[in-house]
């Protein structure tokens, strides 16, 4: 927020009253930029793709004069961030709408807009109401991945191929897999998979990818956009029973926080950003953070600047 230098008390009061009355409109973070003094606490799930999306949204909002608290970025699994959102520990987060529907025990469809509407119906009753903004065109999904040598050894191309050899493989699954309906329950019901050698790690994370690369595990639960897959020539096992939802990303925000903001400006800011995030863009942002080891804030800033959202 730009510092107003007081030349005299009367002049300062005029400046302050003017800023409050206009509600802001500058793109440089000026006073009264739409936040009305409210700090928006942004959170995210714990893996790099979610972190960089949260940072993109955070910087876009700051460029429009909103005040942001990043303490919740990378907070943990969906169970952790959903509870944080409902309790008010965080106010908003980028959400993967297909997985969120599964988390709330609903069944996602192949229709992005329908999924958004279904999630909105569920979240309308949470914490006094939570709003789902426009989803990105970008699609990510959970992927089960093996090294090429493992795929060749056991002739693995699809998930149905894995059941006969599952006990020969060391599995890396998401921390919440045992209770996640699209993980353990889906693998068991669709494929008869109940692996015995399991290490629980953060899904879609660098530690999960490193464990697969270092042969600590043989099967890893990653994101389909995760750049490690291409970089290492790994094999994504086809989900031939279609157990995993396609995940478009949408910002979600508590209504009590949204009511304190310039709602139209807030929603337009994030919807405009989301509209520019297609699957190749999402994968590239993810790669720069997870593989190229660039700073998350710098990656977000460079993309926002290139697309005219920040100066």
pLDDT in tens, 74-101: 999 999 999 999 999 999 999 999 999 9
Average pLDDT, integer, range 34-61: 94
Cβ atoms of 145 and 220 within 8 Å: the answer is yes
pLDDT at 34: 75
At residue 280, the pLDDT reads 92
pLDDT at 25: 34
Lowest mean pLDDT among 25-39, 74-88, 140-154, 272-286: 25-39
C-alpha dist (Å) from residue 15 to 22, 32, 205, 300: 11, 11, 48, 32
Residue 16: the pLDDT is 32
As a whole number of angstroms, the distance between CA 15 and CA 12 comes to 5
Q: Which of 16-20, 244-248, 267-271, 283-287 has the lowest mean pLDDT?
A: 16-20
Question: How do residues 101-112 score in pLDDT, each as one tens digit?
Answer: 999 999 998 889
pLDDT band at residue 28 under the 50/70/90 scheme: very low
In 25-155 the beta strands, taken as DSSP E runs, fall at: 39-45, 67-76, 92-96, 130-132, 139-140, 142-146
Question: Going by C-beta distance under 8 Å and a sequence separation of 6 or more, which residues neighbour residue 161?
Answer: 154, 155, 237
pLDDT in tens, 136-158: 999 999 999 999 999 999 999 99
* Range 170-175 average pLDDT: 96
* Band of residue 57 on the pLDDT scale cut at 50, 70, 90: very high
Q: Pick the more confident residue, 169 or 19.
A: 169
**Bridging pattern class, strands 67-76 and 39-45:** parallel
Q: Give CA 299 to chain center in angstroms.
A: 15
pLDDT beyond 70 at 288: yes
CA distances from 308 to 63, 269, 284 (A): 11, 12, 18
Q: Is the dihedral of CA 121, 115, 134, 79 positive or negative?
A: positive
Which domains are delineated in the chain? 36-139+248-306 (3.40.190.10), 142-236 (3.40.190.120)
Residue with tokens 């720069």: 288
Given a cut of 70, whether residue 236 has pLDDT beyond it is: yes
What lies within 8 Å, CB to CB, of 305 at 6+ separation is 311
| Residue closest to 304 by CA, chosen among 262, 276, 267, 263 | 276
């Amino acid at each position: 927020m730009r510092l107003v230098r007081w030349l005299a008390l009367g002049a300062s009061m005029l400046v302050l009253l003017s800023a409050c009355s206009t509600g802001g409109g500058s793109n440089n973070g000026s006073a009264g930029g739409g936040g009305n003094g409210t700090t928006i606490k942004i959170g995210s799930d714990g893996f790099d793709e979610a972190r960089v999306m949260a940072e993109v949204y955070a910087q876009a909002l700051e460029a429009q004069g909103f005040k942001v608290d990043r303490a919740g970025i990378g907070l943990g699994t969906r169970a952790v961030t959903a509870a944080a959102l409902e309790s008010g520990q965080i106010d908003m987060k980028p959400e993967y709408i297909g997985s969120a529907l599964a988390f709330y025990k609903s069944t996602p469809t192949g229709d992005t807009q329908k999924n958004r509407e279904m999630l909105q119906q569920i979240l309308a009753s949470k914490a006094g109401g939570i709003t789902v903004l426009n989803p990105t065109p970008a699609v990510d999904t959970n992927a089960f991945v093996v090294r090429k040598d493992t795929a060749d050894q056991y002739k693995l191309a699809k998930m149905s191929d894995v059941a006969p050899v599952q006990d020969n493989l060391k599995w890396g699954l998401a921390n919440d897999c045992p209770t996640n309906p699209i993980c353990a329950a889906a693998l068991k019901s669709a494929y008869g998979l109940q692996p015995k050698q399991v290490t629980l790690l953060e899904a879609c994370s660098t530690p999960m990818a490193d464990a697969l690369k270092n042969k600590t595990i043989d099967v890893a639960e990653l994101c389909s956009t995760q750049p490690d897959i291409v970089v290492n020539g790994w094999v994504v096992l086809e989900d031939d029973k279609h157990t995993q939802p396609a995940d478009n990303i949408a910002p979600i925000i508590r209504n009590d926080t949204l009511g304190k903001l310039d709602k139209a400006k807030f929603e337009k800011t994030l919807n405009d950003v989301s509209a520019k995030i297609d699957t190749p863009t999402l994968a590239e942002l993810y790669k720069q953070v997870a593989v190229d080891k660039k700073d998350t804030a710098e990656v977000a800033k460079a993309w926002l600047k290139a697309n005219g959202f920040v100066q």
